[in-house]
Structure 1
Amino acid sequence: MKKVLLSLSIVVSVASSAQTITLDKIYSGYYRGKGIAGIASLKNGENYAIIERGGIAKYSYKTTQKEGNIVDGNFESYQFSNDESKILLQKESKQIYRHSFLGKYDVKDLKTSKTISLNNGNFAQEPRFSPDASKVAFIADNNLFWQDLNSGKITQITTDGKKNQILNGLADWVYEEEFGHARLYEWTKNSDALVFVKSNESEVPEMYIPIYNKQLYPSEMRFKYPKAGEKNSVVSAHLYRLDSGSTTEINLKNFKNYYIPNVIQTAKADEIILITSERTQNASDVLKVNTKTGAVKKLFTETDEKWVETDNVTMEFLDDNSFIWGSERDGNRHLYLYDENGKLKKQITKGNWEVTDYYGYNPKTKEVYIQTNQTGSINKVVSKVNIANGNTSIISGKDGNNSANFSGNYNYFIETSSTAQRPHTYVLKDNSGKAVKELQNNNEMLEKLKADNWVAKEYITVPNEVGDQMNAWIMKPKNFDPNKKYPLFMFQYSGPGSQQVTNSWDGGNGLWFNHLVQQGYIVACVDGRGTGGKGTKFKKSTYMQLGKYEIEDQIAAAKWFGKQSYIDKDRIGIFGWSFGGYMASLALTKGADVFKAGIAVAPVTNWRYYDTVYTERFMRTPQENPSGYDDNSPTTHAKLMKGKFLLVHGTADDNVHYQNAVEFAEALIQNKKQFEFMTYPDKNHGIFGGNTRPQLYQMMTDFLLKNL
């Protein structure tokens, strides 16, 4: 112990002899960057709005000058009606889960300046203007309502909403988390009807979490959480017509109807799209509902031998009611054009690259605007593609991570870009990609970092044992000596479709990694099989065996690094959070001969404990695939642990439950394994609040200095 303390004091004294990146600086906000909040283009295509202190401001694209405030006051977010005659203003909020929250809202008429409170000033969820701007639908206490903006009258559509039993137009926990949104209703184009999903979760097993919060007796957080193989909510689709006030169930018995993750408005009156699937998520029906009659027509079924990405739907209707659809069917995510009856007209984008985001369609030029990785799997660029002739041109920077916010007429866009060497910049550009004006940069932050001897990531590839070249980055000390042996600290996430190796700015863990580099570590990250950016074959190669090939690739990467002249193969550690924590747990068990130390934060330790939609998408149910679950659980391999292991979890984690850490800890205990276990009272999956993050990262730093 004395030797450890001595070596630590030497490291600290050396590090303090020069300007360094410290945890105190990181968490004091010393390196905090600047951004532009709430960018929204106005329909005239000549102006955009942003959130500023004191109001929602209006700027000119042409001059980049502020033209005043659209609304005065301080707001968390806003939403314009389609004709921009009204604005919905969020004044306060209370978070529920990742996407859902309760909010208080006002609606202001921008022509008359009349303001009306939504839901009589009470909390509401998921408000949405009707297309004709005369109404707002919203959810309160799991029931769906609409409010007339002229009279203020509120009409209640459903009455059976009840916590932990019935939700109307609102996603349950697993839908929200895994399909990526909380709202499950939509207006028709002509504003005379609403289609919504009703979720009956009364039979879903209930999760309960003790909340301590300095109370004499802890309270309980109770919510429905369907774990892999267990019952999900029973969902149904319903049609509500404003003229009659009637609600009818939409008959989906002839179609896939186990999940209804998407409700989408078309360009035509009296129509709504529903996207549905069975429990096995390898096929999705795209259904068109006639909202006058309730009749349902299947346009087509999207299929895949493994899974269909129902959480990342691209579907935009054009003026003639044809539509653009995103699909992975040719081995990469690309866009396809269908007619209004669901007949495929053509593939819009092609190539050995992926469409990573969709921005919109310009009917005047017949161009779609997209984000792709066509300049390399670690980059993202903004492109426009002509639907008629397929001509493609990149209109953003060609390296780094570039995204866009387009003007209403597509004559301008605000480009947000970064690289590993350059933090976020915001540049106004014209349709050809020519810079008009830089709106914001982070040069001041970058200069502070450089003064503190910050180092950037370098990009390399690392082979795995089946011949893949895996994308990787590495960070080396400023005074790197290739003849010296350095300890290696590996970071990864590794979840399906994720990417940690991107040519983009990392102001989060990247600053902590710099802090570690300044303590004498080399830090590296490798995206192995199952991760995104390299096509569906690479991404979906882990199907039915989640964790198996991912950990094989991390072990292979660690062995490869260990053969490099500058890495001490006996001092390799690994760190990850959530799925990454699961991987770190596997690394210290199945990879115990390679990794000396590991840190697992909020890890899944057996996929049987995680939710239905996510887990079964990649693994099917435990009943169908028991070995896939158990053979790849670190709990199963607890007896193999050798190195130093730090397990971290929050007791109020509603996503990856504390149960995961407890079960793994018990398995380690019963195998007489020594490890460190840190619990964060009442903290959720993010483990933050007050001084929590500074304490966590100091603890992890100390653990590494002591054990690696």
Structure 2
Amino acid sequence: MHKLLSLSLLTLSLGVGSLSAQNGSRIMTIEEINAGTFSARPAGRGMRSMSDGLHYTMMDAGHRAILRYSFATGKLIDTLFSVDRARDCEFKHFDDYLLEPKGHHILLITNQESIYRRSWKGNAYHYDVRRNRIEPLSQEPGKVMIPTFSPDGKMVAFVREGNIFIKKFEFDTEVEVTNDAARNKVMNGITDWVYEEELETIQLMSWSEDSGYLAFVRTDESEVSEYSMPMYGEGQYPTSYTYKYPKAGTPNSKVSLHIYNVTDRSRKEVSFRDGAPYYIPRITFVGREGQLAVFTLNRQQNHLRLFYVQNKTLLPKLILEDKSKTYVDSHNITWCRFIPTGFVYPSERDGYRHLYHYSDKGTLLRQVTTGKYDVTDFYGADAAGNLYYQAADESPMTRGIYRIDPKGKRTTLHPEKGSNQAIFSDSFAYYISIFNNTTTPTRTAVYATGSLKPLRILEDNQALQNKLAQYKVSPKEFITLTNAEGQEMNAWVVKPHGFTPSTKYPVLMVQYSGPNSQQVLDQYGYGWEQVLASQGFVVVCVDGRGTGARGEEWRKCTYLRLGVKESADQIAAAKALGRLSYVDPSRIALWGWSFGGYNTLMGLCHGQGTFKVGIAVAPVTDWRFYDTIYTERFMRTPQENPEGYKASSVLEVAGNLQGKLLLIHGSADDNVHVQNSMDLAELLVQRDIPFDMAVYTDKNHSIYGGKTRDHLYKKMISYLRTHL
């Protein structure tokens, strides 16, 4: 027998800023929200710690200069680069920059162009600080990717059209490291689409600490199937964009590891005793004895191995293995840090993600953090062996920053409860605190590590607070809901303006629900829920099973059957909400984007009329259509898990869909292909199930550009007003 669904309220204290904002008279509009009117200002563009640990740099407001500041005093020390002062400077502003550790060279990036979610290419210029002269990094045409200084500062490696080159400043020469690249076939040092999207890496290239060797991964995607999208543009005929996209169960790129000797220009492949690794998600020289750390994963992503490869012998030595009954989270690889006494690796071996300190031989020295909470980021270690990390220990909905010493004594570094991030100086003597919560726009301040009194405020967003005071704002109230299994789920509620408990309101449930995601967080941000609140809607967001910061069991319980428990929890939450005095249970809608769009469809197909309306934006409709790394991490391959794919497919249960449906997709979505929505649309048509659909021409997964976002959100609001 199922336990009764229940709802309990948590207390949310409101700050002065939000109270005054609540008393304003102006109503937020979709145009204002999409334009970023209520977004918090960051402290500075391109803020970086310098290698001395005492100074940081940032670009000026016009992107015309690089300025150096003191961490301790905040004073402007000098200008490292200026377009007005540099000799032979051909450009008037720049998009980004890279500093050489010794300070003798700077790279300036102009005309930066996004490729996919994280990758970019741009025109690169070399600024010789001592000569005050700027010149193109290369005399050859073409934008460059992942420019990377050698540790001695005398060279920079970069990728152009898939091949690696090295620019040697002392000799003003450019050396070709590889020459076998071809689009949609071979690339070197950079990653393919699926590595970038799902392993969150765009660079597989690393310098040895003595600058004598460059390690890189060669990616051969020749056997990966192509996906083509029509691009309509403005011409008489559409063009076609074609790229390699491996779908669940199909071949991935083949990867191989190579080490290039800068002195003799030789290049050798590293051989592994049991064959080439299936995935190589990260390589990095550890900073001593020429040891290259190489992380590998099997296709099921449940067996991670860390090898050390000496750059002269090229012999891989197994240092660490991490195995899981489900999968090894890729963030464990990303957050692993190599420190003077070995390395710190995050693992979920005790049921929560914690930090473990290992020697270079792979011997476990100690478990650094313990408790029933997840570490959510790891920043590194200082010279004294203190470790710095972020954790969700106060609540899954908050993030705190901590230092822990070699004896296990922990020091809190964050100023207030809410969402806390930190950018540490290279020496860890100072850090930049980035704090916000639901009632406080982002505050950025500089601290001396160990003190909770800021040295100075870089940005307090007081101007935004003053602006918010003019608006009628409905604050988020945190609540908990209990699912059909008796487990509590975190949620927030935004109530309508002029709310009265005796009125029955329509409800929109917004959610994402994907593995290790979180939407219910104590963090600042205003979205379309405020517009809906002004039009008489209650808006609710629920983080059900599978979401983050609640331990491995909660996070991974959806393994092999995505969408089943996630949609069940949204259905259970809707039923619980329907029993509240101010909710009309016959007028509840479900909305989501990407995985949230998929879960919306699962909710409508399994909810038996629980939801009157559903809006699904850019949804997956069958996991066979999605990429290998993401899908197989949670589902394995369709060949291994046919029943799980069937249970997780919207297409299998489309005939059970109940409620009004608005299906939305961008025609040029490189992530979740429009094929997903087209196949669902055809099934619904053939089953004579009415639905509404909107396709946005040449728009990608984010569906933006020009007036697109305004049109999209106005359409969704109109749909809710009409049908809910």
After TM superposition, the score normalised by the length of structure 1 is 0.95
The one-letter code matched in structure 2 to 1:408 is D
SS in 2 for 1:280: coil
Matched, 1:26 2:36: no
The one-letter code matched in structure 1 to 2:587 is R
Specify which of 158, 175, 179 is matched with residue 178 of structure 2: 158
Q: Which gives a bigger RCO, structure 1 or 2 (Cα 8 Å, sep 6+)? A: 2
CA–CA distance in 2 between the matches of 1:496 and 1:656? 16
SS in 2 for 1:461: strand
Q: Which residue does the alignment assign to 2:411? A: 393
The one-letter code matched in structure 1 to 2:611 is F
CA–CA distance in 2 between the matches of 1:398 and 1:437? 16
- Unpaired runs of 5+ in structure 2? 1-23, 84-92
User: Does the CA contact (< 8 Å) of 1:210 and 1:652 recur in 2?
Assistant: yes
Matched, 1:61 2:71: yes
Matches within 5 A, 1:388-427: 388-427=406-445
Matched, 1:652 2:672: no
User: Does the CA contact (< 8 Å) of 2:289 and 2:310 recur in 1?
Assistant: no
Q: Which residue does the alignment assign to 1:590? A: 606
CA–CA distance in 1 between the matches of 2:94 and 2:287? 31
Matches within 5 A, 1:44-83: 44-52=52-60, 53=62, 54-73=64-83, 74-83=93-102
Q: Which residue does the alignment assign to 2:652? A: 636
1:91-147 per-residue CA deviation (whole Å, 9 max, x = no partner) reads 221211111121111122333323342232631111101111111111111111111
CA–CA distance in 1 between the matches of 2:493 and 2:557? 25
Q: Which residue does the alignment assign to 1:319? A: 340
User: Does the CA contact (< 8 Å) of 1:411 and 1:431 recur in 2?
Assistant: yes
Q: Could you tell which deviates more after superposition, 696-705 or 634-643?
A: 634-643
The one-letter code matched in structure 1 to 2:472 is N
SS in 1 for 2:575: helix
User: Does the CA contact (< 8 Å) of 1:531 and 1:539 recur in 2?
Assistant: yes
CA–CA distance in 1 between the matches of 2:129 and 2:508? 55
CA–CA distance in 1 between the matches of 2:361 and 2:129? 39
Specify which of 212, 216, 220 is matched with residue 192 of structure 1: 212
SS in 1 for 2:361: coil
User: Does the CA contact (< 8 Å) of 2:358 and 2:364 recur in 1?
Assistant: yes
Offset of residue 693 of structure 1: 0.6
User: Does the CA contact (< 8 Å) of 2:339 and 2:380 recur in 1?
Assistant: no
Q: Which residue does the alignment assign to 1:6? A: none
User: Does the CA contact (< 8 Å) of 1:475 and 1:523 recur in 2?
Assistant: yes
CA–CA distance in 2 between the matches of 1:695 and 1:331? 45
CA–CA distance in 1 between the matches of 2:516 and 2:31? 34
The one-letter code matched in structure 2 to 1:319 is P
Specify which of 285, 290, 294 is matched with residue 270 of structure 1: 290
User: Does the CA contact (< 8 Å) of 2:142 and 2:161 recur in 1?
Assistant: no
Matched, 1:600 2:630: no
CA–CA distance in 2 between the matches of 1:93 and 1:194? 25
CA–CA distance in 1 between the matches of 2:678 and 2:553? 35
Offset of residue 29 of structure 1: 4.4
Q: Which residue does the alignment assign to 1:7? A: none
Q: Which residue does the alignment assign to 2:497? A: 478
Q: Which residue does the alignment assign to 1:490? A: 509
Specify which of 97, 104, 107 is matched with residue 85 of structure 1: 104
Matches within 5 A, 1:59-458: 59-73=69-83, 74-120=93-139, 122-254=142-274, 257-313=277-333, 314-320=335-341, 322-364=342-384, 366-386=385-405, 388-432=406-450, 433-458=452-477
CA–CA distance in 2 between the matches of 1:122 and 1:438? 41
Identity %: 38
CA–CA distance in 1 between the matches of 2:142 and 2:172? 14
The one-letter code matched in structure 2 to 1:138 is F
Offset of residue 255 of structure 1: 6.0
User: Does the CA contact (< 8 Å) of 1:39 and 1:405 recur in 2?
Assistant: no
1:455-504 per-residue CA deviation (whole Å, 9 max, x = no partner) reads 22111111111121111111112322111111110010011101111100
Specify which of 619, 625, 637 is matched with residue 641 of structure 2: 625
Offset of residue 311 of structure 1: 4.5
SS in 1 for 2:148: strand
Offset of residue 398 of structure 1: 3.9
Matched, 1:39 2:60: no
SS in 1 for 2:605: coil
1:232-263 per-residue CA deviation (whole Å, 9 max, x = no partner) reads 11111111111221111110242671111111
User: Does the CA contact (< 8 Å) of 2:332 and 2:345 recur in 1?
Assistant: no
CA–CA distance in 2 between the matches of 1:235 and 1:650? 32
User: Does the CA contact (< 8 Å) of 2:662 and 2:693 recur in 1?
Assistant: yes
CA–CA distance in 2 between the matches of 1:27 and 1:619? 35
Q: Which residue does the alignment assign to 1:4? A: none
Matched, 1:665 2:681: yes
Q: Which residue does the alignment assign to 1:696? A: 712
CA–CA distance in 2 between the matches of 1:390 and 1:546? 38
The one-letter code matched in structure 1 to 2:556 is K
CA–CA distance in 1 between the matches of 2:327 and 2:686? 38
Offset of residue 69 of structure 1: 2.3
Offset of residue 41 of structure 1: 1.3
The one-letter code matched in structure 2 to 1:612 is T
Offset of residue 179 of structure 1: 0.6
Offset of residue 451 of structure 1: 1.8
After TM superposition, the score normalised by the length of structure 2 is 0.93
